């Protein structure tokens, strides 16, 4: 008999090898343009190259799988300024980031608003959002955000799940 409040453990609980976790669903997004205005002088500049980068997004909660955005973007060359610049993708993620703004905002909120230790925030993101973020990465985000004294690491973990997850992170 199952009711609305029935406890159902996370199906990934107890998995110790990252390769046994569900595979990420790939979603393609494009910021690939023929021309873009130069950010320095405003001149419309041709595409020089196309690059792809992968961003870890909030997971797919229906399938229970992580979701990766495969982002294609163009690089342009301004012949006037003799500079290269990329098509703007900052609506999705900060420069060089591996995670989307969405994931970063959720992680920081778990720590700053809910007061979770970094390890627990990391576990929550996996269990509830299906996105892997090492706790040290969350710590960097929180500290970079200049938010006043988030919880410190080394606090007791509320569940075993977090420990298992940490082990996975360390092995990666």
Give the residues lining the site for Zn ion (CB under 5 A).
Answer: 38, 40-41, 43, 78, 80-81
Per the structure block, which two tokens stand in for 159?
């569940």
- For Zn ion, the closer of residues 21 and 81 by Cβ is 81
| Minimal distance, residue 47 CB to Zn ion, in Å | 15
- For Zn ion, the closer of residues 38 and 157 by Cβ is 38
| Minimal distance, residue 85 CB to Zn ion, in Å | 8
Cα-based torsion angle of the residue sequence 143, 146, 151, 153 in order, rounded to the nearest 10 degrees: 10
C-alpha distances out from residue 71 to 29, 55, 129, 144, 157, Å: 5, 7, 20, 25, 35
| Minimal distance, residue 33 CB to Zn ion, in Å | 15
- For Zn ion, the closer of residues 45 and 125 by Cβ is 45
- For Zn ion, the closer of residues 40 and 51 by Cβ is 40
* Nearest-angstrom CA–CA distance, 141 and 118: 11
| Minimal distance, residue 36 CB to Zn ion, in Å | 11
Q: How many CA atoms lie within 13 A of 160 on its CB side?
A: 7
| Minimal distance, residue 134 CB to Zn ion, in Å | 38
- For Zn ion, the closer of residues 50 and 80 by Cβ is 80
Beta strand ranges found along 3-129 (DSSP E): 25-31, 35-37, 44-60, 65-78, 83-86
């Amino acid at each position: 008999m199952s009711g609305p409040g029935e406890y159902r453990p996370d199906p990934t609980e107890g998995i110790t090898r990252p390769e046994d976790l569900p595979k990420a669903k790939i979603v393609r997004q494009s910021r690939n343009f023929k021309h873009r205005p130069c950010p320095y002088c405003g001149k419309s500049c041709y595409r020089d190259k196309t690059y792809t980068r992968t961003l870890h997004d909030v997971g797919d909660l229906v399938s229970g799988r992580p979701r990766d955005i495969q982002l294609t973007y163009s690089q342009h060359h301004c012949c006037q300024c003799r500079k290269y610049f990329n098509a703007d993708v900052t609506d999705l993620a900060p420069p060089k980031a591996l995670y989307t703004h969405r994931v970063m905002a959720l992680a920081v909120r778990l720590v700053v608003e809910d007061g979770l230790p970094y390890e627990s925030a990391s576990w929550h993101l996996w269990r509830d959002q299906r996105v892997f973020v090492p706790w040290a990465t969350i710590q960097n985000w929180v500290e970079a955000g200049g938010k006043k004294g988030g919880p410190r690491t080394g606090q007791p973990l509320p569940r075993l799940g977090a420990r298992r997850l940490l082990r996975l992170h360390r092995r990666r």
